[in-house]
Structure formats: structure tokens, C-alpha cells
Amino acid sequence: MIVLRRLNGQEFVLNADQIESIEANPDTRIRLINGKNIVVKNDIGEVVKKSVKYRQLCNSAIRVVKDQTQGESR
């Protein structure tokens, strides 16, 4: 999940796994896999960085769980 800011300044949390595409024209528009569009104040680079960071955290958590379960079976 990533924290973003709507055009009215209100913060909200978005499930980054639902992002299909992001474009800046000039506002940052996020298209979700369900077809819904969300326009945010955050610039496109910030949304990408937050999404990548979220994915890295998810993957590192998977590795930790996998390592722990493999250690138990030894």
C-alpha cells in the first residue's frame, strides 16, 4: 500500500498492486486494473518510487518467510 495525495490535498492509501499505468498530462493520472482513473498531486516519479519500494518490501518479506520455513525443515 502507498500513501498518495488527492488534488484537494486529502491523503489516501492505494494498493499499488492495482496500478495498471501512470501518466503525467500534466496532472498525474493513475489507471487501475479495474479501469478506474485516479488523479493525484504526487508527481509521476514519486508514485513510481513508492510503488517500487512497496514491491521491494513485499519481496523481502517473502524471502524472510521462505528462509524461515526452509530452516525449520532441516
- The 10 Å Cβ neighbour count of residue 74 is 4
Rounded to 5°, angle at Cα 20 from 56 and 11: 70
Identify the CA nearest to 52 among candidates 9, 8, 24, 17: 17
List, for residues 14-70, the tens digit of each pLDDT value: 999 999 999 998 899 999 999 999 999 999 999 999 999 999 998 886 666 666 677
Find the angle CA(23)-CA(8)-CA(33) to the nearest 5 degrees.
35
Residue 51's alpha-carbon distances to 11, 41, 57, 60, 61, in angstroms, are 16, 15, 10, 14, 16
- pLDDT score for 73: 54
Give the pLDDT confidence score for residue 71 in this predicted structure: 65
The band of 72, judged by pLDDT with boundaries at 50, 70 and 90, is: low
Q: Structural domain boundaries of the chain? A: 2-72
CATH topology of domain 2-72: OB fold (Dihydrolipoamide Acetyltransferase, E2P) (2.40.50)
